[in-house]
Amino acid sequence: MRRVFPLFLSLVMAQASAAPSEATLSAVPVTRVVQPGAVAPETPSSLNASITVRYGPVRPRAVLLLMPGFLGGAGSFDRLARQIVALNPGVAVWAVDRRANLLEDHAAILKATPDGLAQLVKEGLPVRAPDTVAYMQHWGLDVTLKDWRAAVQAARALTPNVFLGGHSMGGTLAGTYAAYDFGGVPGARDVRGLVMLDGLPGLMSGKAMTADAYQQGGANPIGPLPGLKGLARSPYVDAVFFSPRLASRGAAQARLAALNPAGAAPAGGLTPYRATNLAAALSQLEQRYALLPFMTLKTGKATNATEATNLPTLALGGRDSHWIAGPQDPRQPVGWQSDPAAPTDAADFVRRYITPQTDYAEWYFPNRLSLDLAAARTGTRGTPFEKTLPVWHMTALNLPVLGIAAEQGVTTETMFRDYARTTKAVLTTHTLGGAAHLDITTARGDQVARWIGAWLAPLLR
């Protein structure tokens, strides 16, 4: 009690303090740790790894481990992690990079000259051929959760106050971890509570998958999924909306936007029209212009742009979706007007997109993980996957859960309440007003960090 109470008091006091300055956020210590993870078949030993980007004290009194969402990297938590640590002394945040992030070449982007970055925006980095990474066919739910558990156990060696969370699909994985059977031990026994940021078990899992579809191929709301028999040929996501090459091009464009936001974006790059670096970078994810309505944030709006309604994105559930045909004045590029009232700051977002520790995306996202999550849904008892995907303990889950929805995201407080009723979770919910799905972790304001701190405080008495 003597050890925990000062931390509880500091957490309570922090919630009444002023917002941390940018200098304070920048001063938060961060280190990348790669430790042994699960041993997966055919996988090079160097890739059997559990990776965390650790923010805050080396000897923390509490650790919150955060898993990124679909296609996301640990860098997606950079601002939120710093906010949590700055507001809550003694708390460390460990953001997870899944093992596929080890396949990325960040140095080529971080060390590139502006001319080199322009070339990378146009061409991207060389992509690993599917047959050279066929071992990714084994990187599914079991490997992902066991890699995460290695980090959880490292945290438990430092403190009993270990909490698990995630954004989007990371929230799905947090709940799934708690319900997973690790050799007779429910994952819930490892942690003291769960934080779900606009994501929860069952999110985007679609209808129940059959054993045949799991083998031959099926689908979820995002699109088609290769079955087990096709994973060696298609081990990672390679689609029109995301691929390893597109991911490296996007990272290079974000880097250019951070270095020279008003400069001319490379011709033949991410936009078919003349644009500034900042406009070229943000038009890919801005809610008004993004291709997929769930991969969006809100920072501002294009200027000098001729726009038209984007009917395909509206059909997918987009909000006020448009596409940019080109500049209104052809003598000037399409620019970007940041909105100070928008949840996410445009310049801050591109500055954090890629750093020496991590980046925002997971370039080589394993299709096996999406397949397994579609099969597991909210639990596997009584399904064809009961023995191979032991998500068995969902109905017996009895943990404090914090669910935070984005008002214009993919969850609602009602969805969290429905989840809590089936799991016996002790639920606290909030909604971040005006936020799109990605704003939950990138917002300039610290409301999400304060909600997390306030929720943690009584659990540490």
Q: What is the CA radius of gyration of the chain?
A: 21
Query: Is the predicted pLDDT of residue 169 greater than 50, yes or no?
Result: yes
* Residue 23: φ, ψ to 5°: -65, -40
Q: Is residue 172 part of a domain?
A: yes
Residue-level pLDDT at 218: 83
Average pLDDT score over residue span 168-173: 98
Q: How far apart are CA 25 and CA 87, in angstroms?
A: 10
177 and 315 share a domain?
no
192 and 272 share a domain?
no
Residue-level pLDDT at 15: 53
We report the CATH number of the domain holding residue 186 as 3.40.50.1820
Domain termination residue (choose one: 294, 327, 352): 352
296 and 331 share a domain?
yes
Q: Domain count of the chain?
A: 2
Query: Is the predicted pLDDT of residue 12 greater than 80, yes or no?
Result: no
396 and 419 share a domain?
yes
Q: How far apart are CA 312 and CA 274, in angstroms?
A: 24
The model's pLDDT over 105-160, given as tens digits with 9 standing for 90+, comes to 999 999 999 999 999 999 999 999 999 999 999 999 999 999 999 999 999 999 99
Average pLDDT score over residue span 251-257: 98
| Burial (CB count within 10 angstroms: exposed 0-12, middle 13-18, buried 19+), residue 194 | buried
Q: Is residue 236 part of a domain?
A: yes
Residue-level pLDDT at 5: 47
Q: Is residue 449 part of a domain?
A: yes
Q: What percent of the chain has pLDDT over 90?
A: 86
The mean pLDDT value of the chain amounts to: 94
Query: Is the predicted pLDDT of residue 9 greater than 60, yes or no?
Result: no
197 and 59 share a domain?
yes
pLDDT band at 319 (very low <50, low <70, confident <90, very high): confident
CA distances (Å), origin 232, targets 46, 71, 241: 20, 19, 21
Q: Is residue 360 part of a domain?
A: no
For residue 45, give its domain range: 5-105+125-240+365-459
Q: How far apart are CA 53 and CA 97, in angstroms?
A: 7
Query: Is the predicted pLDDT of residue 333 greater than 90, yes or no?
Result: yes
Residue-level pLDDT at 293: 78
Domain termination residue (choose one: 352, 385, 410): 352
The model's pLDDT over 334-377, given as tens digits with 9 standing for 90+, comes to 999 999 999 999 999 999 999 999 999 999 999 999 999 999 99
Query: Is the predicted pLDDT of residue 2 greater than 50, yes or no?
Result: no
Residue-level pLDDT at 173: 98
193 and 262 share a domain?
no
- Report yes or no on whether pTM surpasses 0.75: yes
Average pLDDT score over residue span 53-82: 98
317 and 173 share a domain?
no
Average pLDDT score over residue span 287-312: 91
Average pLDDT score over residue span 10-18: 58
Average pLDDT score over residue span 298-312: 92
Q: State which amino acid sits at residue 277.
A: N
Average pLDDT score over residue span 28-44: 98
193 and 248 share a domain?
no
47 and 161 share a domain?
yes
pLDDT band at 4 (very low <50, low <70, confident <90, very high): very low
Query: Is the predicted pLDDT of residue 6 greater than 80, yes or no?
Result: no
99 and 12 share a domain?
yes
276 and 222 share a domain?
no
289 and 342 share a domain?
yes
